[in-house]
Amino acid sequence: MLTQWQAPIDLGERIAAAQAYRKTIVKNTNAYRMVHAEADLLPALVVDRYGDYISIQTLNQGMDKATPVLVAALEEQFAPKAIVARNDAAVRTLEELPRETKVLSGEIDGPVPVSMNGFQLEADLMTGHKTGVFLDQRENYMAAARWAKGKALDCFTATGGFALHMARVCDSVEAADSSLPSLETAERNANKNGLSNIEFVEADVFELLSSYTSARKTFDTVVLDPPSFAKSKKQVDGAARGYKDINLRGLRLLESGGILVTCSCSHHMSEAALIEIAAAAAADAGRTVRVLEVRRQAQDHPVLLSVPETLYLKCLILQVV
């Protein structure tokens, strides 16, 4: 007997159902996740909207073969200027599919403009992070801005999501990343929004944090949003050490009353494990820390309880007391 995953599905109907849900929770942005794979009952399919453009990922053999039908459904429902396939994810190699990025329909010429939380940003759908920008952190950007204050440090800033949001409430923001192209995009985003109190620093973040600790430099707010340290279950122990190390370094830079926003984007690292790691780092740093918020990915990235991999992003907002 066929299971619900094996039975034929109507892609157009499933996409329409996913959009009905998005209309209830997506606010103040034209860049959001339209389809979140299994959580929208469309396994191995990711669809992201960037204003008048759409980016897709087809991550297994079946969904990849359905690409023409998928493109037709998206064109019929949304009439985008272009649809891009960001099929450069490593999982496609396991599926014996090529890793590639290409335009499936329409035309796209460079980064595209999007709006998010009142900010005007650019999204590079062809070579940017994930499918363009970090859509899953959208609500966490706003949460961080609610607590951020004084002098802030944004580590692994990428295209500046946390930095831009904090710049409107902080005296100054230092945004660090090892990728110069990402920093250049972040700086353009800052300029688009009239923000002049952000300093962009190209650096290895681990080395930067160590040097700041040695120099006894302090901040009122620190954001840690590193790339995934655990790509597989075998890497979890090493990732735990990495997360503890970086949280220890971040906590040592905070003034009393300071705010730490710390994230993990690996579904192999559970929320409970991240909390334990943060607690252990606080103990080693000799700091007393309380939890202000425990957060996850934005609501347009829903979680299916029977598929734990759909819950992958964890975000803690902590305060040194």
Over residues 283-308, the pLDDT tens digits come to 999 999 999 999 999 999 999 999 98
- Among the candidates 86, 117, 148, a domain finishes at 117
Mean pLDDT of 245-251: 96
- Give the pLDDT of residue 83: 98
- Is the pLDDT confidence value at 232 over 90? no
Please indicate, yes or no, if residue 33 is contained in any of the structural domains: yes
| Parent domain of 304 | 134-320
- Give the pLDDT of residue 1: 35
Number of domains forming the structure of the chain: 2
Q: In this structure, are 21 and 168 located in the same domain? A: no
Q: In this structure, are 104 and 154 located in the same domain? A: no
What's the CA gap between 300 and 140, in Å, rounded?
13
Going by C-alpha positions, the residue among 134, 123, 114, 142 that lies closest to residue 29 is 114
Mean pLDDT of 248-259: 96
- Give the pLDDT of residue 4: 44
- Give the pLDDT of residue 230: 61
Helix, strand, or coil (residue 63)? helix
**H/E element holding 168?**
none
Q: Residue 73 is encoded by which pair of tokens?
A: 């459904």
Looking at 155, 263, 265, 315, which residue is catalytic? 265
Helix, strand, or coil (residue 126)? coil
Q: Which residues contact 56 (CB under 8 A, 6 or more apart)?
A: 45, 46, 47, 48, 67, 70, 74, 83, 84, 85, 86, 104
What's the CA gap between 171 and 34, in Å, rounded?
36
Please indicate, yes or no, if residue 6 is contained in any of the structural domains: no
- Residues of the chain with pLDDT > 70: what percent? 96
Going by C-alpha positions, the residue among 249, 212, 205 that lies closest to residue 227 is 205
CB atoms within 10 A of CB 244: 17
Of 2-16, 165-179, 200-214, the least confident: 2-16
Local confidence band at 223 (pLDDT 50, 70, 90 cut-offs)? very high
Q: In this structure, are 234 and 277 located in the same domain? A: yes
Q: In this structure, are 216 and 81 located in the same domain? A: no
Q: Residue 175 is encoded by which pair of tokens?
A: 């945004």
| 315 has catalytic annotation | no
Please indicate, yes or no, if residue 4 is contained in any of the structural domains: no
- Among the candidates 83, 117, 151, a domain finishes at 117
- Among the candidates 117, 147, 163, a domain finishes at 117
- Give the pLDDT of residue 2: 37
Q: In this structure, are 178 and 295 located in the same domain? A: yes
What is the CATH number for 36? 3.30.750.80
Q: In this structure, are 148 and 284 located in the same domain? A: yes
Q: In this structure, are 98 and 189 located in the same domain? A: no
